[in-house]
C-alpha cells in the first residue's frame, strides 16, 4: 500500500546519514554507532574527530568509514554525537592502515587508533597567550602619563606583544599595560603559542654523487616523481652514502606543494649528527617524534602533521601512526634493527608496517641498511622490492680490516678482558693520535654477583633474572623490571662477609681495566645509563668528533649511525656474546650488530681496523665478518630457515600467557592446548615456560604456532582464542611474527 511504501522509504532515508560509526581509542570489538544531530549532519564525514558520550563520560573518537561488528541498535536508542573537535580530520589512508594493522596483529581497531591519537592534549583548546596592540583610536579623555606614553610608543610598530615584554621594553610595570587595556587604548589578542614550522628548502644542492649513488638516487627520484606505491631496498655498505641517497628522495618528494615525508629510525639512532646533516641539507630542522619528546612539543607536532604544516617527520616506530595529510615518501633507515619490533601493547614490526603504510598512502618506501634483514632480502629475491646497491665507501674510505683474536690461544690475564693483541693495537692507535672504540653489549659492572662460600646468585625478587651490578651508581639492578637495591655487604643466604664476587664483565668493569692500563688516555663510557638525555649524548658525540676523547667504551648505543673520522680501531670484546641462547635470529642479529660496530672504524681518510675477540672464531658469523662475505652467510641462513619453514618461509605466532598465579596460567595454557586447531600444515607446541619465566612477578608460559606459508594464521588464531573462556587473572598476548623466541 501507499502508506506502507511511504513508511519504508522513511526508514531508508532516516538511516542514510542519521547514524554513523565512531571508533574510540579503546580496546572494544569495533566502532560504535551514534546518532547524528541535525546541526552536524553536513560535517560528520569519516575521519572527523568527535566527542561522544560513553557510559556517562565523554570520549574522543573518529568517525569511521566501516561499521562495527556488534549489534545494531534502533536509532531511537542511540546517543548523539556531542561535538566536532577542532582538528584536521584523519585521512583515508590512515584509517585503512589502522584497519589493516588491526586485522594483521589481531589487536582491536581501537587499540591501534589509540596510537594515532596518542596526544590527548592535541584535542583540547589550543593554548593561547594574551598579546596587546594599540587600539585604532586613542579613546577620548584618556589620561596620559609618561609611563603610558612609553607603552604606546613600544607598541606603535604594530607587533603584538605580551604584557611583561611591553613592560620591560617600556621600563614600566605590567599594571600600566593592563591599565591601558582597561581604558580601551590597547586591544587584547589571544594568540596561539604554536609557531608554524619553517618549510624545508629543496633548492639547496646535496653533494655531488658518485656513479652508483646517482643511479640509486635517480631510481628513487623517478618513482617519487611519478607517485604510487613502490618499495625499494637500499643495500649499501656502511659509509657508502645511503643517507645522501635517500635525502635525494626526500628532496624530490618535497618539491611538490604540501607533500610530507617520513623517516623512521631506531630510537637510539636519532642522533644529533643525523639532525645536523638534515639541517645542512634542507635548511630547517625536521619534526622529531619519539618517546622522549615532551607533551607540549608532541601536541604542536601532531597538529602540524595533521594540518600538513609539518613537512618532514623523523621518528621512532610510533611516527607511523601520525595523521599525515599528504604522505608522499617513507624511508626506514637501519631497517634490520630489532628495535623496530614493538613488544608492548599492539605488537607490530614497524619496518613491515611502514611498507603497508606506504601501500595505503600510495607512495614509495625505501628500506635502507648495510645488513638487510633476512625478511627484506627474501622480499627482494622474490622481486617484491627493487634492490639498489652501493658497494663502495664514499671517497677514499675503505672498509676496515677485520681480524679475529682466538681467545683460547691468546687469553687475557685473569680478571681482565682485553687480550694482549688488542692491548698492543690500542697502544699503537693511541700513539698515532687516533681514537679507539671498544664494544661490549653489557651495561653495568658485572652481569652476575655470586657468593664464593655458598654459591648463591643474587636474583631479582620478581623476575627470573640475575641482578646486574652498577658500580658507578653503587647498586644492583634488574634489567627487566628496573628493580634496584644496594649492593649487600654480606651474602643474603649464608651471611658470610666479603664472599660476594662480581662475575663477568660489563662496560663499567671494562672501563676500570682500560683506565688502569691506559692511564693517560681520555676514556668515556657510552651506555643508556650514562647517556640519560639526547643533549648529554650530543655532548659526548661532539667530544669524540672533536678529538677530546681517546677511547670510547660502549654498548649497542654506539653502533648506530655515528661518523667519527679519527676513529680507526674498533675492538669487539666478546664477539660470541649474542650467539649464546640459540634464538632463531641470534646469528643474523649478531652479524648485523657487529657489521654496524665495525662500520664505525676508518670512515674517512685513515683506514680502520677491527679486532674480534672470540672463543669460537670458526663460527659462521665470525667467519662472515672476517671474509666480508655476508651474502654467503645470509644465503646459508636462508637455506636453513627455508628447510624448516621458519619465517619468512613459514609463519610463527607466539601466544604468551601470564599471571600472578602459576597454576592459573598453566590451566589456561592447557585449555588452549585442548582447543588448539588441528589443521594440515599447522603445528602447535606448548604450553611451555616462556624464555623469561617470570617478569615483574608474572609467571609466563608460551604456546607457539608454526604454520606453512599459505596458512591464514590470523583466522585460525582468532577462532582458537574464541574457543577458550578468558580468565581475568591471566593475560593472553598474541604475537604474530614474534621477533625472538
Binding site for ligand ADP (CB under 6 A): 207-210, 213, 236, 238-244, 394, 563
Minimum distance, C-beta of residue 215 to ligand ADP, in the bound complex (Å): 12
Residue ranges in 607-730 assigned as alpha helix (H) = 620-627, 630-643, 662-674, 713-722
Which of Zn ion, ligand ADP, none is residue 493 near (CB under 5 to 8 Å by kind)? Zn ion
Minimum distance, C-beta of residue 98 to ligand ADP, in the bound complex (Å): 32
The packing angle between helices 586-598 and 630-643, to 10°, is: 170
Which of ligand ADP, Zn ion, none is residue 254 near (CB under 5 to 8 Å by kind)? none
User: How far, in Å, are 111, 142, 271, 377, 457 from residue 357 at the CA level?
Assistant: 17, 62, 24, 20, 47
The packing angle between helices 272-282 and 242-255, to 10°, is: 40
Element spanning 700, H or E: strand 698-708
Minimum distance, C-beta of residue 97 to ligand ADP, in the bound complex (Å): 27
Residue pair 432/496 in contact (Cβ under 8 Å)? The answer is no
Residue pair 122/300 in contact (Cβ under 8 Å)? The answer is no
Minimum distance, C-beta of residue 531 to ligand ADP, in the bound complex (Å): 21
Pairing of strands 128-134, 260-264: unpaired
Pairing of strands 32-35, 19-23: antiparallel
Phi, psi of 701 (to 5 degrees): -125, 160
Residue pair 356/337 in contact (Cβ under 8 Å)? The answer is no
Is 481 annotated to bind a ligand? Reply is: yes
Q: Which is nearer to Zn ion, 193 or 454 (CB)?
A: 454
Which of Zn ion, ligand ADP, none is residue 456 near (CB under 5 to 8 Å by kind)? Zn ion
Q: Which is nearer to ligand ADP, 213 or 568 (CB)?
A: 213
Minimum distance, C-beta of residue 178 to ligand ADP, in the bound complex (Å): 54
Can you list the pairs that 270-273 forms with residues at least 24 positions away whose Cβ atoms lie under 8 Å?
270/314, 270/315, 270/316, 270/534, 271/537, 271/538, 271/541, 271/560, 271/561, 271/562, 272/534, 272/537, 272/538, 272/541, 272/542, 273/541, 273/545, 273/561, 273/562, 273/563
Q: Which is nearer to Zn ion, 528 or 639 (CB)?
A: 528
β-bridge mates for residue 60, sequence order: 51
Q: Which is nearer to Zn ion, 451 or 604 (CB)?
A: 451
Angstrom distance (rounded) from CA 370 to CA 389 = 10
Minimum distance, C-beta of residue 695 to Zn ion, in the bound complex (Å): 7
Q: Which is nearer to ligand ADP, 183 or 398 (CB)?
A: 398
Q: Which is nearer to ligand ADP, 213 or 449 (CB)?
A: 213
Task: List, as one string, the DSSP characters of 286-302.
Answer: PEEESTTS-HHHHHHHH
Angstrom distance (rounded) from CA 146 to CA 607 = 71
User: How far, in Å, are 143, 160, 184, 360 from residue 138 at the CA level?
Assistant: 10, 17, 8, 58
Please report where in the chains the cell 655487604 appears, as a residue.
Answer: 489
Is 116 annotated to bind a ligand? Reply is: no
Which of ligand ADP, Zn ion, none is residue 241 near (CB under 5 to 8 Å by kind)? ligand ADP
Which of ligand ADP, Zn ion, none is residue 480 near (CB under 5 to 8 Å by kind)? Zn ion
Is 363 annotated to bind a ligand? Reply is: no
Q: Hey, what's the cell of 268? A: 637510539
Residue pair 294/209 in contact (Cβ under 8 Å)? The answer is no
Cis peptide before 687 (omega within 30 of 0): yes
Binding residues (CB under 5 A) for Zn ion: these are 451, 453-454, 456, 460, 463, 478, 480-481, 483, 491, 493-494
Minimum distance, C-beta of residue 331 to ligand ADP, in the bound complex (Å): 11
Which of Zn ion, ligand ADP, none is residue 453 near (CB under 5 to 8 Å by kind)? Zn ion
Q: Which is nearer to Zn ion, 122 or 695 (CB)?
A: 695
Is 478 annotated to bind a ligand? Reply is: yes
Q: Which is nearer to Zn ion, 460 or 553 (CB)?
A: 460
Q: Hey, what's the cell of 644? A: 624448516
Closest C-alpha to 172, from 155, 189, 184, 159: 155
Which of ligand ADP, Zn ion, none is residue 471 near (CB under 5 to 8 Å by kind)? none
Which of Zn ion, ligand ADP, none is residue 563 near (CB under 5 to 8 Å by kind)? ligand ADP
Minimum distance, C-beta of residue 14 to ligand ADP, in the bound complex (Å): 59
Is 463 annotated to bind a ligand? Reply is: yes
Please report where in the chains the cell 577542532 appears, as a residue.
Answer: 86
Task: Specify the length of the chain in residues.
Answer: 741
Which of ligand ADP, Zn ion, none is residue 688 near (CB under 5 to 8 Å by kind)? none
Minimum distance, C-beta of residue 268 to ligand ADP, in the bound complex (Å): 16
Q: Which is nearer to Zn ion, 478 or 572 (CB)?
A: 478
Minimum distance, C-beta of residue 175 to Zn ion, in the bound complex (Å): 57
Which of Zn ion, ligand ADP, none is residue 593 near (CB under 5 to 8 Å by kind)? none
Q: Which is nearer to ligand ADP, 154 or 251 (CB)?
A: 251
Q: Which is nearer to ligand ADP, 30 or 547 (CB)?
A: 547
Minimum distance, C-beta of residue 214 to ligand ADP, in the bound complex (Å): 9
Which of ligand ADP, Zn ion, none is residue 483 near (CB under 5 to 8 Å by kind)? Zn ion
Q: Hey, what's the cell of 20? A: 554513523
DSSP character at residue 675: T
Annotated binding site: 451, 454, 460, 463, 478, 481, 491, 494
Known binding-site positions for Zn(2+): 451, 454, 460, 463, 478, 481, 491, 494
Amino acid at each position: 500500500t501507499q502508506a506502507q511504501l511511504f513508511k519504508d522509504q522513511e526508514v531508508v532515508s532516516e538511516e542514510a546519514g542519521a547514524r554513523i560509526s565512531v571508533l574510540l581509542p579503546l580496546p572494544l570489538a569495533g566502532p560504535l554507532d551514534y546518532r547524528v544531530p541535525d546541526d552536524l549532519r553536513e560535517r560528520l564525514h569519516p575521519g572527523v574527530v568527535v566527542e561522544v558520550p560513553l557510559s556517562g563520560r565523554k570520549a574522543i573518537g573518529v568517525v569511521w568509514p566501516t561499521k562495527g561488528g556488534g549489534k545494531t541498535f534502533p536509532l531511537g536508542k542511540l546517543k548523539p554525537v556531542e561535538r566536532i573537535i577542532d582538528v584536521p580530520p584523519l585521512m583515508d589512508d590512515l584509517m585503512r592502515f589502522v584497519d589493516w594493522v588491526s586485522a594483521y596483529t589481531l589487536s582491536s581497531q581501537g587499540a591501534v587508533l589509540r596510537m594515532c591519537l596518542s596526544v590527548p592534549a592535541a584535542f583540547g583548546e589550543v593554548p593561547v597567550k594574551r598579546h596587546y596592540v594599540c587600539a585604532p583610536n586613542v579613546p577620548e579623555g584618556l589620561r596620559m602619563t609618561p609611563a603610558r606614553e612609553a607603552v604606546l610608543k613600544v607598541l606603535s610598530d604594530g607587533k603584538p606583544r605580551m604584557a611583561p615584554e611591553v613592560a620591560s621594553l617600556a621600563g614600566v610595570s605590567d599594571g600600566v599595560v593592563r591599565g591601558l587595556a582597561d581604558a580601551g587604548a590597547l586591544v587584547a589578542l589571544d594568540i596561539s603559542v604554536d609557531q608554524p614550522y619553517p618549510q624545508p628548502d629543496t633548492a639547496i644542492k646535496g653533494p655531488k654523487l658518485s656513479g652508483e649513488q646517482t643511479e640509486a638516487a635517480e631510481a628513487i627520484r623517478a618513482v617519487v616523481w611519478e607517485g604510487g606505491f613502490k618499495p625499494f631496498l637500499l643495500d649499501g655498505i656502511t659509509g657508502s652514502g645511503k643517507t645522501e641517497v635517500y635525502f635525494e628522495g626526500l628532496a624530490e618528494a618535497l618539491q611538490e606543494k604540501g607533500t610530507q615525508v617520513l623517516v623512521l629510525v631506531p630510537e637510539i639512532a636519532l642522533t644529533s649528527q643525523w639532525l645536523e646533516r638534515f639541517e645542512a641539507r634542507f635548511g630547517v630542522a625536521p619534526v622529531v617524534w619519539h618517546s622522549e619528546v615532551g607533551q607540549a612539543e608532541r601536541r604542536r607536532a601532531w597538529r602540524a602533521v595533521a594540518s600538513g604544516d609539518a613537512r618532514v617527520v623523523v621518528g621512532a616506530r610510533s611516527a607511523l601512526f601520525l595523521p599525515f595529510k599528504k604522505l608522499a615518501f617513507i624511508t626506514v633507515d637501519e631497517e634490520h634493527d630489532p628495535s623496530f619490533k614493538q613488544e608492548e601493547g599492539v605488537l607490530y614490526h614497524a619496518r613491515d608496517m611502514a611498507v603497508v603504510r606506504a601501500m595505503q598512502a600510495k607512495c614509495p618506501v625505501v628500506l635502507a641498511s648495510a645488513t638487510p634483514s633476512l625478511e627484506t632480502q627474501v622480499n627482494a629475491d622474490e622481486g617484491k622490492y627493487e634492490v639498489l646497491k652501493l658497494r663502495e665507501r664514499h671517497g677514499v674510505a675503505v672498509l676496515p680490516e677485520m681480524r679475529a683474536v682466538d681467545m683460547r690461544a691468546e687469553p687475557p690475564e685473569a680478571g681482565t678482558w682485553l687480550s694482549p693483541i688488542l692491548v698492543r693495537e690500542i697502544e699503537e692507535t693511541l700513539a698515532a693520535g687516533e681514537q679507539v672504540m671498544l664494544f661490549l653489549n653489557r651495561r653495568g659492572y658485572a652481569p652476575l654477583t655470586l657468593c664464593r662460600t655458598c654459591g648463591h646468585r643474587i636474583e631479582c625478587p620478581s623476575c627470573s633474572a640475575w641482578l646486574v651490578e652498577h658500580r658507578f651508581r653503587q647498586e644492583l639492578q634488574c634489567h627487566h623490571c628496573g628493580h634496584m637495591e644496594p649492593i649487600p655487604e654480606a651474602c643474603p643466604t649464608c651471611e658470610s662477609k666479603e664472599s660476594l664476587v662480581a662475575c663477568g664483565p660489563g662496560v663499567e668493569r671494562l672501563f676500570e681495566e682500560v683506565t688502569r692500563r691506559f692511564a693517560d688516555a681520555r676514556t668515556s663510557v657510552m651506555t643508556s645509563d650514562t647517556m640519560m638525555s639526547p643533549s648529554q649524548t650530543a655532548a659526548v658525540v661532539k667530544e669524540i668528533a672533536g678529538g677530546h676523547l681517546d677511547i670510547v667504551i660502549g654498548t649497542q648505543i654506539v653502533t648506530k649511525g655515528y661518523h667519527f673520522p679519527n676513529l680507526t680501531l674498533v675492538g669487539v670484546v666478546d664477539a660470541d656474546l649474542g650467539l649464546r641462547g640459540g634464538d632463531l635470529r641470534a646469528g643474523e642479529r649478531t652479524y648485523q650488530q657487529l657489521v654496524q660496530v665495525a662500520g664505525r672504524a676508518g670512515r674517512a681518510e685513515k683506514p680502520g681496523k677491527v679486532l674480534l675477540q672470540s672463543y669460537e672464531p670458526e663460527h659462521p658469523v665470525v667467519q662472515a665478518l672476517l671474509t666480508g662475505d655476508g651474502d654467503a652467510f645470509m644465503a646459508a641462513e636462508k637455506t636453513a630457515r627455508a628447510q624448516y619453514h621458519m619465517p619468512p618461509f613459514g609463519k610463527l605466532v607466539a601466544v604468551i600467557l601470564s599471571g600472578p598465579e602459576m597454576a592459573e596460567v598453566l590451566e589456561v595454557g592447557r585449555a588452549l592446548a585442548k582447543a588448539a586447531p588441528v589443521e594440515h600444515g599447522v603445528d602447535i607446541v606448548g604450553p611451555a615456560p616462556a624464555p623469561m619465566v617470570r617478569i615483574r612477578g608474572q609467571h609466563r608460559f608460551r604456546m607457539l604456532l608454526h604454520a606453512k606459508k599459505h596458512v591464514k594464521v590470523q583466522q585460525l588464531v582468532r577462532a582458537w582464542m574464541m574457543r577458550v573462556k578468558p580468565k581475568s587473572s591471566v593475560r593472553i598476548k598474541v604475537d604474530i611474527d614474534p621477533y625472538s623466541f
